[in-house]
Chains A and B, each alone.
Chain A
Amino acid sequence: MSAPLVLRRLKEVMWVLTIAAVVVGLARFAFGLGASTNMLDSLPWGWWKIFNMVGGAALATSGFVIAAIIYILRLTKFYAVARLSVLVGFLGYGSSLAALIFDIGLPHRGWHPFFMWNPHSFLFEVFWCVSIYWGVTALELLPILTERFPFPKVTHFLHRVMLPFVVLGVTLSTMHHSSLGSLFLGSPTRLHPLWHSMWIPPEFFISAMGAGVAVLVLLLLVLSYLYQAVFDAKLISRLAVISASLLGAYLVLKVADLTVHDKWGYVLGPQRTWESHLFWLEITLQAIVPITIFALPALRRRRALLFLGASAAFLGLVMHRLDTGIVGYFRTSNAIYIPNLGELVLSFGILSAAGLAFFFLIEHFPVLKGAGYCAVEGNPDDPEGHQPVPSWTWTEARELFLGAGARRVATFAVIVVPITWFGLHGQGTSAFEPVHAVVRTSIQSSDTLRTTLRLDANGNGDFVIFPHEQHHEAFVEKYGIELEETCVKCHHLSLPDDHQTLCRACHRDMEVPMPMFRPENHAERFESEAQRAKFEAFDLSDRRQNFRACMMCHEETMAGLTEYREKGFNHLAPGFVTAMHGKCMTCHRLEERDPADAFSLGNCIGCHRWTPREEGEELNMLKDDEQPLSPRIIEGPVVIPVK
């Protein structure tokens, strides 16, 4: 594909991602964070915060680094990339803040930190610095926009007053880039020692600057390909050297950090874990590869290698931030977070929108002024042109915003929106709809069940479906007892509406008086004195004894497996009877062989019949002429929506 075609396809992909992100973003506000992300209580900061905010801000540092070099150090050689870097800063921070709107739980209160202060908080400082700095980048960007319009005085005025703002912007950047690292200072016992250090603030600051300049190199290389533009090779080379020296400083700092804090054991020594390998990969990408390429003139002269080095620096920085913000917490949290598709689509959709804005601005505004030759039609920096940029006419503007391009985007939207929506539906982690489980069990009503309970009987992650509705019907039909008054009182006392209940979650509460299991009533049910005496010998108020008492009878489990499928995997799990009642029934079935114990506990009815509604109410015993409730057998799979 030729370069213009690649550019066009790239923009189309970006439009698709942007439109998909709009859908995901709306879904996030409609259904909440839990439904649309994989974030957890133990890993509360996910992809949006760490990749888009912490990583995104770090990758957009070129805005302030170049501004400092040009405006403060007065190294005017770099003026060619001044506007480009300001634009990267503005769009980078803008996209980071946009991602935050989706990430924080109550974004309509985003203004709170301006009025409700806690200066002890690093996040407070980050918030203030980032939001003000974003305003500063907008101001720095303004002359580029005003030049396109016939307001020469405004442009001139902006140029005159820019210096104090540049100083402010650079200062705010040094502050918040170190504070973005300080955010993780506060979890010394949770974050892995390889990434937690009291030196995080300078490490974040320096690595962000190095990577930011590398990103600028990467961007110049990509632009020179996409637009067939010719940039000053010397300039790119100089930027690479700056990046190499900053990344080198980071490497030295990191090595000193590991040495001073005696952490080499985590990298090479006895405490080596999988995190060590991750750290090696990260430091190789983040520092070793780019430094090698950027620092050696023979290597950096070759574009492919330069591209490789800049990409490595880019990926390495992202990896470092993700490791520090997410992966480093895995071990102590005893949990793993992997962003779901919706999170990734929104994240890259926001970046795509920023990318489209970037392309739009460099094509229609004098961003690359002085940077090089840009062969795009109508580009104000066309070397043949050398005339001042003309302002748009109404017709031009209309064609620009409502022309063929806009129509093509609308076509995309028609296709992408439904696909994204259904994609979200199909996503297993999404709570937009109940997860469907295909269930075949030996005791299953053929009716579709409205309410079900997922029981993780053995606590091993295999679930069975407990059909509430069937039990409810059986109760009402046979005994006139409402469900809420019976099962629910026991099974849901501790864990109401819990969809994944362990056996022991209920069964360990046995000394708590409940209709379904009251120790004194349980004792009453023994018809043989010997059994009752055996049961009563245990002090059920003492849990440790309680365990033993139950285990004496409830030791074996009844055979009977339930096959079910969830998220495309087949599992075998103990059936409901095994899970919940197997232990009782195994014992009681054995007892039935002894005529002295001939109480029909081997059947469901033996227990379920006996469900007094109120304390002291007469027990609803099986009458002589009644038949025990027998389970209905069905064949074939039944699809049950699990709520």
Chain B
Amino acid sequence: MSRDLDSNKSKSKAILTDATKCIGCERCVQGCVEQNQLPPDVPAKFKAGDGLSSARFTSIVEIPGREPETSRFVRRQCLHCEEPGCVAACLVGALVKRDDGAVVYDADKCIGCRYCMLGCPFSIPRYEYDQPLPYIKKCKMDETCRVDGGAPACTSACPTGATVFGPHEELVAEAKRRIAERPDLYVDHVWGEHEFGGTSVVYISDVPLGDVLRIPTKEEFEARAVPSLAAGSIPHLVHNWVLVTPFQFFAGVLGLGGLAFLRRRSRVMAEEAKETGTLRAPEGEE
């Protein structure tokens, strides 16, 4: 996790989704499906309830309101974290966070352990359970998504401008500008700005989105005894335990080896003192 976040943020691209503008038409889904030539959707048996699957990299989740008019629609997709849990989790380094913001997957390295699925706090990566040789599938936000080298197909397809693509810093500023402009409408929070160390996909809304996006509030982080995640990443949270590992190795080899040596010497000396030899040495030097 040695990426220099500040210098990269300027190069980094991002997606801003404004739930107040989304009409739930799913053209982003359609655009993604067509651009990536995704296969027919998987049977519901293999799907989680949020609509994402190995054949759908983005989906629209409805937050039902009392009236049909008050329903809100939120786009689910990979949040492309600044310090992704999946990247830290993958044991072969098949997942990589690139400088342009995208978290990309190298299918040639993957061994199919599905630890990235467990390591993602948003439960984004999906698995091709219906295939005999399955791979991980997730939103890519890389060149293959871009229409004519510009914005990804999903944001290009949006008819209302609810989801837009652009430089990370500018989009966060834009999100804040919108909130400042209509403080009566928006919830004063940019989801994804700080939580889990920040994500390249940020959301603003007039209703709380935490449950749909699986981004807890500060209080919820505290209730789970991980308050640092409100501004820090999961790899950062567990980093100390990663550092323990090499220490454990050297301490183990040297400490246990030394102990074994000392105990052996003392045992041999005791045996010599006893001058009996009835006590058998454990290596089986019989």
Residue positions of A touching B, CB distance < 8 A: 29-35, 39-42, 44-45, 68, 70-74, 76, 79, 82, 103-107, 109-110, 112-113, 116-125, 127, 143, 159-160, 162-164, 166-168, 170-172, 174-175, 178-179, 182-190, 193, 196-198, 201, 261-263, 271, 332-335, 431, 456, 492-500, 508-509, 511-512, 541-545, 547-548, 551
Specify the chain A residue showing the minimal Cβ separation from B73: A543
6 of the cross-chain contacts (CB-CB < 8 Å) are: A41-B46, A104-B111, A186-B238, A188-B234, A334-B49, A544-B69
Give residues 245-286 of B contacting A (CB, 8 Å): 245, 248-249, 252-253, 256-257, 259-260, 263-264, 266-267, 279-280, 282-285
Question: Given the complex, which residues of B lie within 8 Å of A118, measured CB to CB?
Answer: 88, 90-93
Question: Given the complex, which residues of B lie within 8 Å of A333, measured CB to CB?
Answer: 48, 123
Question: Given the complex, which residues of A lie within 8 Å of B129, measured CB to CB?
Answer: 32-34, 39, 41
Stretch at the interface among B113-121, B184-192, B198-206: B113-121
Q: Are B43 and A499 in contact (CB under 8 A)?
A: yes
Give how many A-B residue pairs fall within 8 Å (CB-CB). 277
Question: Given the complex, which residues of B lie within 8 Å of A35, measured CB to CB?
Answer: 130
Q: Are A174 and B132 in contact (CB under 8 A)?
A: no
- B52 → chain A, closest Cβ, in Å? 7
Q: Are A116 and B93 in contact (CB under 8 A)?
A: yes
A73 to B260, CA, bound (A): 6
Task: Using known A-B contacts A74-B282, A121-B89, determine if residue A41 contacts B25 with beta carbons closer than 8 Å.
Answer: no
A118 to B244, CA, bound (A): 16
B133 within 8 A of A: yes
- A142 → chain B, closest Cβ, in Å? 12
Stretch at the interface among B140-148, B168-176, B218-226: B218-226
- The 5 A-B pairs of least Cβ separation, nearest first, read A105-B112, A34-B129, A171-B252, A497-B40, A496-B40
Residues of B in contact with A, size category: 35 or more
- A202 → chain B, closest Cβ, in Å? 10
Question: Given the complex, which residues of A lie within 8 Å of B71, measured CB to CB?
Answer: 544, 547
Q: Are A73 and B237 in contact (CB under 8 A)?
A: no
Excluding A112-B111, A544-B23, A548-B68, 8 further A-B contacts by CB distance (< 8 Å) are A41-B127, A74-B264, A122-B242, A124-B92, A186-B89, A188-B121, A197-B225, A542-B23
A511 to B30, CA, bound (A): 14
Specify the chain A residue showing the minimal Cβ separation from B94: A116
B155 within 8 A of A: no
B216 within 8 A of A: yes
Chain A CB within 10 Å, residue with most, of B52, B53, B68: B68
Q: Are A196 and B224 in contact (CB under 8 A)?
A: yes
Q: Are B112 and A68 in contact (CB under 8 A)?
A: no
Q: Are A41 and B248 in contact (CB under 8 A)?
A: no
- B95 → chain A, closest Cβ, in Å? 9
Specify the chain B residue showing the minimal Cβ separation from A500: B44
Q: Are A262 and B225 in contact (CB under 8 A)?
A: yes
**Which of B68, B110, B121, B132 sits near A189, CB closer than 8 Å?**
B121
Question: Given the complex, which residues of B lie within 8 Å of A162, measured CB to CB?
Answer: 283
B134 within 8 A of A: yes
B194 within 8 A of A: no
A183 to B44, CA, bound (A): 29
Q: Are A498 and B40 in contact (CB under 8 A)?
A: yes
Task: Using known A-B contacts A182-B238, A500-B43, determine if residue A104 contacts B253 with beta carbons closer than 8 Å.
Answer: no
**Which of A29, A117, A171, A189 sits near B248, CB closer than 8 Å?**
A171
Question: Given the complex, which residues of B lie within 8 Å of A30, measured CB to CB?
Answer: 132
**Which of A73, A113, A496 sits near B91, CB closer than 8 Å?**
A113
Q: Are A189 and B216 in contact (CB under 8 A)?
A: yes
Q: Are A509 and B40 in contact (CB under 8 A)?
A: no
- A67 → chain B, closest Cβ, in Å? 10
A31 to B159, CA, bound (A): 41
Specify the chain B residue showing the minimal Cβ separation from A70: B282
A282 to B230, CA, bound (A): 31
Q: Are B68 and A544 in contact (CB under 8 A)?
A: yes
